[in-house]
């Protein structure tokens, strides 16, 4: 049930003859007089997309067009449409309603000025009744001129008396001065994406005509929470529900209007509740009421893997004294979701949890392990992001055993259809206001503009059960305030005040003032709050550096591009939750073929390097070879340090093999960190969340993504899927001590029992009889916990047992029984993991003799290692087939022992799978193949 559909249904439900003109259905012209350009336009759209449709420009994503097309962002553009069928009767009021104008727009109607806008994220509506009544045309022009955002923010920055910040406090990626605009911050560039700075009517727009006694619903908020619940505090799970409904209208709700509700099960259509709302308050443009609902009448909504996604349709009807009515229907779910940042209790201390504060999520009163990744804008041009594209990405996230995505804070607020799909699939969306890696103005106009943006967005999406959190901005405390402390300590108090003015004094009330069901934190990474007192005007006081030695607070992020430190557990941060970490890798050869010409298909070609924005140019130069070469070098060094590197005679095959090796390192490094954080659930840090950077790509380039722009899974997404299973065995190698610890980890809510088999296997396939703790080990894991199975001193084993670390791999298998959350049935869990005591670059690898074939009877692929142990076994389509068919195999990037056979299913990501014979051309490789010419 998408928001655009709701708008139409709202209009239909208003008594009387409301006229609504959907501006998506009118003809538009896009013009730039200076360049003599006039082409058809669309709504919603962006200028780049309309120019592309008319072949004025080439594909913005091809080659170096992110540089070549800067003239589009540096120009002004005008959209014009003739709006017909409007009434000029004296009792009719006419409004323009825009759900999104990107960004600096001057609006004219019938050649008369209406308004100017400067916020991509606000909903705007304007009364144009007087203009229409005096207009001579029966089809008046609606004209929207978009100014160049880069030029306008430069002008703002150069205004007399304008605040300036030191360089590191407003880090530019390409276009500077993004802190002055309420526009997608990554539109001006980021280290994983281009800087197109698009403009246009990027969301739906309407002309609405109302008689004097009619209203039009433009927004609403439904808030479901437990009686007595307050933000950020775990509520009483036995308390009844409260439904608070508030409806924003164009027009005036008549005095004496009442409100009632009806709740139906979205799956069955059966009515679950109805009645009147109480405590109705009517301010004319907004009407609010509430009701207490019996707690036992409604099934709970749970995230994926933790229970069912039970959904309900709630209809709120507003009825005037004369009997006229309008209704608003939203699909929602009954759940509580809290970010618990409270103090560690004495009971928890007695169980071995380190002192400090919590930093974890609880759903319906139950702490759970959040497993997932960070979601960035899936396209530089949001109008071409479709529900089908989001569903494809979210299906991949679910297939990857993820239950939470952090929707990163310097893109755009998620469309309703994105939350709708997350509601259905059970993906929690940690959501953020669009601020990041910069300080921002705190003048009254900027703060009010921001407040209105935040209030609109909070009210728009609050009913979605997938909404997990509102965070103020990206890395504001862990990054920006830390930079101030380090480089500008004498200005710390000043910049702390600026930070709190925006992120506590402005954004927190926008959340707390509109909802009780959602938690708020001012920064994505922080030590949490020091105190939370709802008797204060601003209840939250942040902890900052008020930390007790030995205590653990807050969540962490971690980036280290020195390959020598990779896999070193002592470098990983200790915290209660990890919200981002990562390392970049190349996209597949198939993605590169979409973006660059054949002559550029090599690792360090000009286009490949310049499409790598790690590290960003920090300005508008188009020859960023120096900074780009640093990022390319990091991938190269990591590959050479840990794996046999390719040196193939065919240049395209060599490029493809190098690409794959960078992906293996990325996956290997992430796997090490995810295992570390998950095992932390059973250590003193009691770590309960891991979200890696990042889920998906915005375009085709070297990035941190696990899913490429076309939906293709990198090695990372396959490996994360494996290590995000409910019950895993996790070898943890401490470089400093030479000790290998083997944990079993469970995120189930009940005890798990099982047996793990530990042993050493030679690359030639032989079983190594090493006198250590190998063998079968029985184990029990408590709820949301980890158990240490074995501790091995690798150096001592090499001396006492003759272990040649270059000739063997440690292999761990487990079989366990446990009960999935919210079920009664016992399930068997299996998992295999490995550890190589020497980097594969110096391991005595042998040809594993891989074979793969397709079993037509089961539609599975059968993979077998005939000659030796295969590590990083990779199943893939023939390169030409992979240009048309994108497949996700059920298992990939795995270990296969000599003589072992694995049967693997698959699912189609893109393409219809009808390309003749592709299944017969599927191949299998391992890291051994890097040694072949």
| Strand-strand pairing, 124-127 and 216-226 | unpaired
Phi first, then psi, for residue 694 (nearest 5°) are -150, 165
Question: To which residue do tokens 């004097």 refer?
Answer: 212
* H/E run at residue 498: helix 492-503
Which among 132, 408, 101, 367 has a CA at the least distance from the CA of 234?
Answer: 367
- C-alpha distances in Å from residue 630, one per residue of 244, 617, 701, 874: 53, 12, 15, 28
399-420: string of b/e by CB count within 10 Å (b at 16+)?
Answer: bbbbbbbbbbbbbbbbbbbbbb
| Strand-strand pairing, 467-471 and 520-521 | parallel
Question: To which residue do tokens 């030029």 refer?
Answer: 151
Report whether 333 contacts 301 (CB < 8 A): yes
> How many Cβ atoms sit within 10 Å of the Cβ of residue 463?
23
- C-alpha distances in Å from residue 735, one per residue of 554, 565, 687, 890: 26, 9, 22, 32
How many alpha carbons fall within 13 Å on the CB side of residue 413? Answer: 28
Report whether 796 contacts 812 (CB < 8 A): no
Please give the Cα distance from 454 to 522 (Å, whole number).
Answer: 13
- C-alpha distances in Å from residue 88, one per residue of 18, 85, 128, 295: 13, 10, 11, 51
Report whether 291 contacts 262 (CB < 8 A): no
With a CB cutoff of 8 Å and minimum separation 6, the contacts of 593 are 601, 883
Tokens of 60: 């913005």
Residue 807 known to be catalytic: no
Q: Which of 475, 500, 542, 685 is catalytic?
A: 475
Report whether 644 contacts 845 (CB < 8 A): yes
Rounded to the nearest 10 degrees, what angle do helices 444-461 and 416-425 cross at?
40
Find residue 860's DSSP bridge partners: 855
Please give the Cα distance from 922 to 850 (Å, whole number).
Answer: 12
End-to-end CA distance of the chain: 54
Report whether 523 contacts 471 (CB < 8 A): yes
Residues forming the active site: 475
């Amino acid at each position: 049930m998408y928001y655009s559909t709701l708008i139409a249904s709202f209009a239909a439900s208003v008594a009387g003859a409301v006229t609504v003109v959907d501006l998506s259905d009118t003809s538009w012209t896009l013009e730039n007089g200076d360049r003599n350009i006039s082409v058809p336009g669309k709504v919603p759209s962006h200028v780049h997309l309309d120019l592309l449709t008319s072949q004025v420009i080439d594909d913005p994503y091809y080659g170096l067009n992110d540089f070549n097309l800067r003239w589009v962002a540096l120009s002004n553009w005008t959209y014009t449409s003739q709006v017909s069928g409007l009434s000029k009767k004296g009792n009719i009021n006419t409004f323009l309603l825009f759900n999104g104008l990107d960004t600096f727009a001057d609006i004219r109607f019938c050649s008369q000025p209406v308004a100017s806008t400067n916020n991509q994220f606000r909903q705007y509506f304007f009364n144009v009744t007087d203009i229409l009544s005096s207009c001579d045309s029966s089809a008046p022009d609606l004209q929207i001129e978009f100014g160049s955002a880069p030029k306008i923010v430069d002008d703002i920055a150069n205004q007399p008396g304008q605040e300036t910040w030191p360089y590191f406090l407003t880090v530019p990626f390409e276009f500077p001065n993004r802190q002055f605009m309420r526009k997608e911050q990554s539109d001006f560039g980021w280290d994983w994406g281009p800087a197109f700075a698009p403009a246009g009517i990027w969301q739906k727009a309407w002309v609405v005509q109302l008689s004097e006694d009619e209203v039009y619903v433009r927004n609403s908020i439904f808030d479901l929470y437990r009686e007595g619940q307050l933000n950020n505090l775990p509520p009483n799970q036995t308390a009844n529900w409260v439904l608070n409904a508030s409806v924003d209208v164009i027009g005036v709700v008549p005095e004496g209007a009442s409100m009632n509700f009806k709740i139906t099960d979205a799956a069955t259509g059966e009515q679950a509740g109805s009645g009147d709302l109480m405590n109705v308050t009517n301010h004319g443009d907004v009407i609010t009421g509430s009701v207490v609902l019996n707690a036992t009448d409604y099934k709970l909504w749970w995230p994926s893997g933790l229970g069912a996604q039970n959904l309900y349709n709630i209809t709120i009807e507003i009825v005037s004294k004369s009997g006229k009515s309008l209704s608003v229907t939203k699909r929602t779910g009954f759940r509580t979701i809290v970010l618990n940042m409270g103090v560690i209790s004495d009971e928890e201390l007695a169980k071995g949890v380190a002192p400090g504060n919590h930093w974890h999520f609880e759903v319906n009163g139950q702490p759970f392990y959040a497993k997932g990744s960070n979601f960035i804008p899936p396209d530089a041009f949001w109008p071409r992001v479709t529900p089908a594209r989001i569903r494809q990405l979210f299906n991949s996230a679910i297939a990857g055993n993820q239950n939470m995505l952090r929707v990163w804070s310097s893109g755009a607020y998620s469309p309703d259809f994105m939350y709708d799909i997350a509601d259905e699939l059970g993906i929690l969306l940690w959501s953020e206001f669009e601020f990041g890696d910069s300080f921002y103005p705190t003048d009254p106009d900027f703060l009010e503009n921001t407040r209105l943006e935040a209030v609109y967005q909070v009210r728009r999406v609050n009913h979605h059960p997938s909404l997990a959190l509102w965070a103020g901005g990206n890395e504001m405390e862990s990054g920006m305030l830390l930079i101030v402390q380090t480089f500008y300590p004498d200005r710390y108090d000043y910049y702390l005040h600026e930070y709190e003015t925006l992120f506590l004094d402005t954004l927190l009330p926008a959340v707390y003032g509109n909802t009780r069901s959602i938690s708020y934190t001012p920064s994505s990474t922080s030590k949490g709050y020091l105190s939370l007192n709802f008797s204060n005007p601003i209840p939250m006081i942040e902890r900052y550096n008020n930390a007790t030695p030995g205590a653990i607070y807050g969540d962490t992020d971690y980036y280290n591009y020195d390959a020598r430190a990779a896999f070193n557990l002592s470098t990983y941060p200790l915290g209660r939750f990890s919200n981002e970490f990562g390392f970049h890798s190349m996209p597949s050869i198939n993605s590169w073929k979409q973006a660059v010409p054949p002559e550029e298909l090599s690792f360090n070609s000009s286009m490949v390097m310049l499409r790598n924005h790690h590290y960003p140019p920090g300005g508008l130069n188009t020859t960023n070879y120096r900074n780009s070469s640093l990022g390319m070098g990091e991938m190269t060094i990591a590959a050479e340090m840990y794996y046999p590197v390719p040196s193939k005679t065919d240049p395209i095959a060599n490029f493809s093999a190098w690409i794959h090796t960078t992906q293996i390192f990325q996956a290997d490094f992430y796997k090490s960190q995810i295992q570390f954080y998950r095992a932390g659930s059973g250590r003193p840090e009691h770590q309960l969340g891991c979200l890696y950077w990042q889920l998906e790509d915005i375009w085709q380039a070297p990035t941190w993504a696990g899913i490429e722009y076309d939906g293709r899974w990198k090695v990372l997404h396959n490996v994360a899927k494996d290590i995000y299973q409910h019950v895993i065995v996790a070898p943890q190698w401490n470089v400093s001590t030479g000790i290998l610890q083997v944990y079993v980890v469970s995120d189930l809510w009940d005890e798990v029992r099982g047996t793990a088999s530990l042993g050493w296997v030679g690359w030639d396939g032989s079983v190594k009889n090493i006198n250590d703790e190998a063998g079968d080990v029985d184990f029990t894991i408590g709820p949301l916990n980890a158990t240490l199975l074995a501790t091995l001193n690798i150096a001592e084993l090499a001396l006492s047992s003759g272990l040649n670390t270059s000739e063997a791999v440690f292999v761990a298998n487990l079989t366990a029984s446990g009960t999935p959350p919210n079920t009664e049935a016992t399930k068997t869990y299996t998992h295999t993991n490995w550890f190589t005591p020497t980097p594969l670059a110096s391991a005595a690898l042998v040809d594993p003799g891989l074979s793969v074939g397709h079993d037509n009877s089961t539609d599975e692929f059968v993979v077998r290692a005939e000659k030796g142990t295969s590590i990083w076994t990779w199943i893939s389509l023939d390169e030409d087939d992979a240009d048309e068919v994108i497949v996700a195999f059920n298992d990939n990037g795995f270990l296969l022992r000599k003589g072992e056979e694995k049967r693997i299913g698959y699912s189609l990501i893109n393409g219809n799978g009808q390309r003749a014979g592709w299944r017969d051309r599927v191949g299998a490789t391992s890291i051994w193949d890097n040694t072949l010419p």
